[in-house]
A and B are shown apart, each in its own frame.
Chain A
């Protein structure tokens, strides 16, 4: 997964961007290595696109500094601001932004012509970029005659043809249909590895982020929630927002009773009474602090009758609310007191709403998180 070398390509220091009274990006810090694929992930309005637009130069930050390849491209404190065209970066936009008045070839060649490349070299490099995205056969066609997927390939070729230092993606796949999105996703990953170009990718789609990235930056409400590789983000979310945003999870509120080494003993509140569970996490919390238990559906074991095995910890009794057929598997919703827990079940398990079932999970599969 790591084609990244150690050298920092993009460094962002204490970036702050405000729109009027709203803070769109608050104290954003990261160092992205050469060749790395970093995804900014978060719900719409979390500041991920604004961060990207600050890197490319379409927005001017209020505070902080951004360096590309060691040289600052913008610094609010030093009063440095390079125009987008002077930063030598490439960008792929959500709406493709393929120019309808030019052919595919002219679209891709644009950046090279600006860089005074001409003649044979222009043609060669443009065609090479078009071959990379498998569009060489459509070079003479007008962009208006292309499908959405083809347009996005043109946009991609246009951004890489002049070999920019970094390529930025602003939700490039969100206008495509599901099948095409997967195809293009793999295409972009393949291309990125092939060219080895440093990439910053913005998306609100967690599956895209998990599949494509070397590292993921999860953002919410203008603030970075967690930075980490996909596995860490998924299995060790830093807080309940990250846990909930990445993948499917049930969140149960409660408070910490005590910590034993890595294991927390937590009381999940359930109206008047509650039940006690053991799970990982809860770092830094002390007894009585409010915590949230995060449970992935695939980590919960279903028992149709009360298991005799007394070694099972974390046994929860509940009633089936309903089941949803999802093709390759089914999802069940179980009501445990006040709480609702999602589980993955197999087709052959026939659950009827109202039926009493028992759930269990291993302590290492539950995660106590701060809110």
Chain B
């Protein structure tokens, strides 16, 4: 630079073009209020209100105690006290812990073993089986509970009847109408969560990590115990914690299988105490606080201590992972995997189909009686005898899923962009706000939303449901977008800015087109989640704003099994179609979020 200055001896260079001169203060203000910063602040504010307000309201309301008249409230700890002294709530608390622990053990065992079989053994048909292992992840556990009730209820279960008719058993052999049933259904439905956390690190692990243990003198078993297992342990623990938290917040399964038979859980208690004729929102808020504290602490541990410990075991070299030759045991592994798909996907769907075709279900298959009357009653909204809760649910859920997924993804894109591409003052706050909703079960967040907005006009409309959905689930979309955004070089954006495009033009022309596959995958994922959503909807719905799952709940509770099965089946078919679409769009690898 200096050399140039001494060489250029001509007249003072004239500034013909360039930025206009401004004062320092003006520059500073302009810097603060550029497009980018304004957008960041606005988004931080919106997310802040959406996420934090319900939690604050929940906290405050949990200290409001309803007096005997049921009209006035005063401050106090009575709600919390009641959780210890109540006849049912302490038991519900214990049951929640039992169910979560049990389903965590089952899901972890299933998830890890299936992931290992698929990633590391020569089990036949692995490529074919893998997508089916993941299907339960997308289906509704509530519908799974309904299906398993049809299969293995003590008196009316199909499997029980067959066992008595064909195998000569005296009484029923299976009974899912208890805590074990809840553990069974949540366990098999949440196994893919663990699977997804483990399979990637198993599959992409540098094989020389294990090879070097072998060459150093460790046998296969010793290598597995001292190298392979410790390396995937963070993934296993993360998966296990997520399963525990998800099970603790699961409403549909215990509501269907255990609550009617005397085993209440925190979620079913929140529902029955906070919603209904003698509703006590304040007690519901206190119970939600208790559940939320458990889950948020666990998620915090996972995010803070376990996720960062995951080992980078991937190398650039494109080696295939070590595949273990199981010999003839490979057919045992194959059978095991097929059995999982059978109990988690095939049997439940078949049972729904069978039951839904009978006008009256008497626990035996009667081909002569079969008709589509149940589908007509639940789906054909123009019929006079159609059931409103069901037909409303279809419309409402489709609207909520379409609008909610779109809105969530818009938010997800903007938020991801802010976290990864800007260094505004609000960036870290936004990053934090995106993790918070993941820490709370849907039913807890829904209680917060309920107590916050119950006296506003949005209560009893679809808007409050939309607000609950987006607040709780947009972080999922945000993770989807963020992971891709991290993989795309920031220089691509910067080149656009350098070429003179504004921040918004860059977002529109460069960033979003590059993110398109991730955005669409995230959209379909949220569409699926919203279409089957129950635990938020059950708290926030009113007559007229039922959702699909609420419709199923209504039919299950107030109508009969065949009608329930028909609507469940309809929901399952839409979900399966969405899963198919998701796989087409996102491919195999997009599921690791």
Closest CB in chain A relative to B540 CB, distance in Å: 45
Check if B212 sits within 8 Å of A85, measured CB to CB.
no
Binary flags per residue of B286-327, CB closer than 8 Å to A gives 1, else 0: 000000000000000000000000011101010000000000
Check if A89 sits within 8 Å of B215, measured CB to CB.
yes
Q: Within the complex, which residue of B208, B214, B233, B312 is in contact with A85, where a contact is CB–CB below 8 Å?
A: B214
B206: interface (CB < 8 Å)? yes
Q: Within the complex, which residue of A57, A94, A100, A158 is in contact with B216, where a contact is CB–CB below 8 Å?
A: A158
Contacts of B315 in A (CB 8 A): 95
* Residues of B within 8 A of A (CB-CB), count: 24
Closest CB in chain A relative to B218 CB, distance in Å: 5
Closest CB in chain B relative to A68 CB, distance in Å: 13
Bound CA span A256–B546, Å: 93
Q: Which of A27-35, A107-115, A316-324 contacts B (4 or more CB under 8 A)?
A: A107-115
Bound CA span A94–B312, Å: 16
B362: interface (CB < 8 Å)? no
A56: interface (CB < 8 Å)? yes
Check if A101 sits within 8 Å of B317, measured CB to CB.
no
Binary flags per residue of A295-329, CB closer than 8 Å to B gives 1, else 0: 00000000000000000000000000000000000
Check if A159 sits within 8 Å of B216, measured CB to CB.
yes
Check if A97 sits within 8 Å of B206, measured CB to CB.
yes
Check if A162 sits within 8 Å of B231, measured CB to CB.
no
Secondary structure at the B interface, as helix, strand, loop or mixed, is helix
Bound CA span A310–B220, Å: 73
A69: interface (CB < 8 Å)? no
A155: interface (CB < 8 Å)? yes
Check if A85 sits within 8 Å of B313, measured CB to CB.
no
**For B211, B217, B219, B313, which residue has the most chain A Cβ atoms within 10 angstroms?**
B217
Check if B312 sits within 8 Å of A158, measured CB to CB.
no
B213: interface (CB < 8 Å)? yes
Closest CB in chain B relative to A30 CB, distance in Å: 20
Q: Within the complex, which residue of B211, B216, B312 is in contact with A110, where a contact is CB–CB below 8 Å?
A: B216
Q: State which residues 203-232 of B face A: CB under 8 Å.
A: 206, 208-209, 211-220, 222, 226-227, 230-231
Chain B minimum-CB-distance residue to A95 = B315
Closest CB in chain B relative to A302 CB, distance in Å: 37
Q: A83-B219, A101-B230 are in contact. Are A91 and B311 (CB under 8 A)?
A: no
Q: A95-B208, A144-B311 are in contact. Are A85 and B317 (CB under 8 A)?
A: no
Check if A114 sits within 8 Å of B206, measured CB to CB.
no
Bound CA span A36–B441, Å: 65
Check if B218 sits within 8 Å of A114, measured CB to CB.
yes
Chain A minimum-CB-distance residue to B216 = A111
A88: interface (CB < 8 Å)? yes
A84: interface (CB < 8 Å)? yes
Closest CB in chain B relative to A95 CB, distance in Å: 4
Bound CA span A83–B325, Å: 14
Contacts of B311 in A (CB 8 A): 100-101, 144
A93: interface (CB < 8 Å)? yes
Contacts of B218 in A (CB 8 A): 85, 110, 114
A99: interface (CB < 8 Å)? yes
**For B213, B230, B233, which residue has the most chain A Cβ atoms within 10 angstroms?**
B213
Binary flags per residue of A18-60, CB closer than 8 Å to B gives 1, else 0: 0000000000000000000000000000000000000011100
Check if B212 sits within 8 Å of A94, measured CB to CB.
no
Bound CA span A83–B220, Å: 9
Bound CA span A84–B213, Å: 9
Bound CA span A97–B212, Å: 7
Closest CB in chain A relative to B226 CB, distance in Å: 8
Check if B217 sits within 8 Å of A58, measured CB to CB.
no
Q: A100-B311, A159-B216, A162-B217 are in contact. Are A84 and B230 (CB under 8 A)?
A: no
Check if A93 sits within 8 Å of B222, measured CB to CB.
no
Contacts of A88 in B (CB 8 A): 217
Check if B212 sits within 8 Å of A100, measured CB to CB.
no
Contacts of B215 in A (CB 8 A): 56-58, 84-85, 89-91, 159, 168
Contacts of A57 in B (CB 8 A): 214-215
Q: A100-B231, A110-B218, A162-B216 are in contact. Are A84 and B211 (CB under 8 A)?
A: yes
Bound CA span A56–B217, Å: 11
Bound CA span A58–B223, Å: 14
Contacts of B211 in A (CB 8 A): 58, 84, 91, 93, 97
Bound CA span A158–B218, Å: 13
Contacts of B206 in A (CB 8 A): 95, 97
Bound CA span A89–B212, Å: 11
Bound CA span A99–B215, Å: 14
Bound CA span A168–B208, Å: 13
Q: Within the complex, which residue of A115, A144, A155 is in contact with B212, where a contact is CB–CB below 8 Å?
A: A155
Q: A57-B215, A168-B215 are in contact. List 14 more A-B contacts (CB 8 A).
A: A58-B211, A84-B211, A84-B214, A84-B215, A85-B216, A95-B206, A95-B315, A97-B206, A99-B209, A99-B227, A100-B231, A100-B312, A101-B233, A110-B218
Interface residues of A (CB under 8 A from B): 56-58, 83-85, 88-91, 93-95, 97, 99-101, 110-111, 114-115, 144, 155, 158-159, 162, 168
Interface residues of B (CB under 8 A from A): 206, 208-209, 211-220, 222, 226-227, 230-231, 233, 311-313, 315, 317
- In the A-B complex, list the 7 residue pairs whose CB atoms are closest, starting with the nearest: A97-B208, A93-B208, A111-B216, A91-B215, A84-B214, A100-B311, A114-B217
